[in-house]
Amino acid sequence: MSPEPELTSINSIGYRCEGVSFSYTPASSLPNTTFSWTREAFAGNSAATGTGVISETLINNDINPAGVNYFYTLTSNGCSNSEPYPVSVVIVPAPTVTVNASSLSICEGQSVTLTSSSSLAGTPLPSTLLNENFNDPTNVFSRTNSSTGGNPADAAWTLRPDGYTYNMPWPNPDPTFHSNDNSQFYLSNSDDQGGGTTDTYLISPVMSTVGYSSLTLSYWHIYEDNSNGGWGNDRARVQYTINGTNWFDLPLNNFNNDQGSEDNFDHETVNLDAYVNNPLFQIRFYYHATDDWWWAVDNVTITGVATNTVAMNWSSSPAGFNSTQPNPPAVTPTQTTTYTATYVDPDTNCPGTASVTVVVKPLPVISNKTVTICSGTAFNVTPTNGGSEIVPAGTTYTWTAPTGTGFTGGSAQPTPQTSISQTLTNTGTTVATATYTVTPSANGCTGTPFTVTVRVNPNPTVNAIGPFTYCNGTNVAGHNFGSNVTGATFAWTSSVDVGFGTAGTGNIPTYTATNIGSTPVTSVVTVTPIANGCAGTPRNFNITVNPTPVLNLTAEYCAVPGQIRLTANPSGLTNYTWFRD
């Protein structure tokens, strides 16, 4: 008799988070054991069956943890356990997360603000409470100047650009300032006040440190002390307040000797852990001096670690964006992106997620175009997508009136068109150039304007020529054609071959006028001018070749007494020359 297999692996999977994959590998007391399992439906999950390893991702649509049993049947050597083995798991519900974006469809280059919230109590606190680099014309710090004597305004905290040089009022090397990041900074210049007492204050905004377990202040500065620790009561003080009224020096940040140099700002970090859990916390840079030198400050930050352990994070697909701010502003995706906010329950360590997709509509990107047309014809430019050009489906175009001279027909087009097209006429005899500035738009997004340059070739004409009349057998020197457009060529046809054929190009060469008949023959010659690929209006002229006359004489001896009458044939000949032997 074979023994019944027993489940020897632990019979509890434990707590698992909703939406997070987990697995369980069974073990048996006997070799070659096979395992099959079943699971009942619960908390939004349909029933399931399987063999071997359990690998599932379960949901819990309740607000409380939900437990469920898997039941294993073991088989070995034809024998199965008489009672299924239960293996339990508890699915902990995930936090409910809600997300949105200020716009779900934007043009490339635009930004959105992402927003999120969760069912968890408390909102994650930012890790940065203050971050001011003083690089903008305005900033979050306020300034107070209570200096007296001399020129008090010259001592005020003033934004100075990188590379600022102070022109000393007496012969001394003029100092040039460079902050740690070579950027704009604040300077209070007691020396520039020219005597008296300097009292200037650079004051941060109010910050709440409630919910933080630790805080750190960081700043860069240079303090040039005239007494250098000796006489006088010159002080560069960093102070704090927790009520907006009473100010106190921060330990080790009351300076009365030189700190750093004009081109090598000193970096200070200050532990502010003693000031957590204050809703009205501020710092200020207080400069008190009598005919001192100066104090400059830059790049002030306060960072902290929150005791509120509700953790959240934004991620993106495609990857590239991460943030721990619940509502990050000025997010600028370069392509359609799905943003996912994840909140982690501090008690269960279970994450809850939600996603929002921001569709990024591409901007048309089109290079400048040049086309050539003949006068009086339409040009048509229809950009296509591909290569370095981005032409989204449905792109339309508007344009301004073309610039240039020597043409007519160009006008502005404020109504969007699917292509750029107009008919232009050259009013001169040389190439005219029309330049359009075209603005492309697609799906409500406007791209960078591009130009369409149209070269309008003039249509040539044939200078007046003919008509000509020749006698049969006359040697003709040919016919040369002229045009209003330099470099024009010519194609011609002749309705009758009168000695030079019925078609040709260029000028008509030397020929012998030919008419083998008895009546005049007229050829209609049609000349077509061509210049720069443009054919002008044909011009016709006539060449008439008269036949050689054949004279038949009839003599009448009795018609006139004493004379002979001679009659010439054909009739119509008007000139005769005769002689008598």
Residue percentage of the chain with pLDDT more than 70: 93
563 pLDDT more than 80: no
User: Is residue 106 scored above 90 in pLDDT?
Assistant: yes
Q: What is the pLDDT of residue 547?
A: 94
Q: What is the pLDDT of residues 198-231, one digit of tens each?
A: 999 999 998 888 778 899 999 999 999 987 544 5
User: Is the torsion defined by CA of 242, 246, 250, 251 positive or negative?
Assistant: negative
Q: Cα–chain-centroid distance for residue 53?
A: 50
What's the pLDDT score for residue 212? 87
pLDDT digits (tens, 9 = 90+) for 445-456: 999 999 999 999
pLDDT at site 20: 92
> Is this prediction's pTM over 0.75?
no
Best CA proximity match to 365, nearest among 339, 345, 385: 385
Per the DSSP assignment, residues forming a β-bridge with 527 are: 492, 539
Of 550, 547, 491, the closest CA to residue 514 belongs to 547
* 3-class SS string, 322-374: CECCCCCCCECCCCCEEEEEEEECCCCCCEEEEEEEEEEECCCECCCEEEEEE
Question: Are 258 and 225 a contacting pair, CB within 8 Å?
Answer: yes
pLDDT for res 2: 74
Task: Determine the Cα–Cα distance for residues 207 and 244; give it in Å rounded to an integer.
Answer: 11
Instruction: Supply the pLDDT for residue 230.
Output: 46
pLDDT score of 52: 96
Q: From the CA atom positions of the chain, what is the Rg in Å?
A: 50
Q: How confident is the model at residue 122 (pLDDT cuts 50, 70, 90)?
A: low
| pLDDT for the residue 345 | 85
How confident is the model over 270-310, as pLDDT tens digits? 999 999 988 889 999 999 999 899 999 999 999 998 875 67
The pLDDT score that the predictor gives to residue 239 is 97
d(CA 479, CA 79): 118
The secondary structure of 191-235, three-state, reads HHHCCCEEEEEEECCCECCCCEEEEEEEEEEEEECCCCCCCCCCE
Residue 323 has pLDDT above 90, yes or no: yes
User: Does residue 85 have a pLDDT over 90?
Assistant: yes
Least confident of 429-433, 531-535, 566-570: 566-570
Over range 550-555, report the average pLDDT. 67
- Digit-coded pLDDT (tens) for 263-272: 999 999 999 9
State the pLDDT at residue 229: 46
Task: Give φ, ψ of 531 to 5 degrees.
Answer: -145, 130
What is the tens place of the pLDDT at every residue in 453-494? 999 999 999 999 999 999 999 999 999 999 999 999 999 999
Give residue 232's pLDDT band: very low, low, confident or very high (50, 70, 90): low
In the prediction, which pLDDT does 552 show?
66
Residue 190 DSSP SS3: helix
* pLDDT beyond 90 at 67: no
Give me the sign of the Cα torsion angle 177, 180, 186, 189: negative
Work out the pLDDT band at 564, boundaries 50, 70, 90: low
CA distance 412 to 402: 7
The mean pLDDT value for 110-119 works out to 94
Count other Cβ atoms within 10 Å, centred on residue 184.
18
Give the percent of the chain with pLDDT over 90. 76
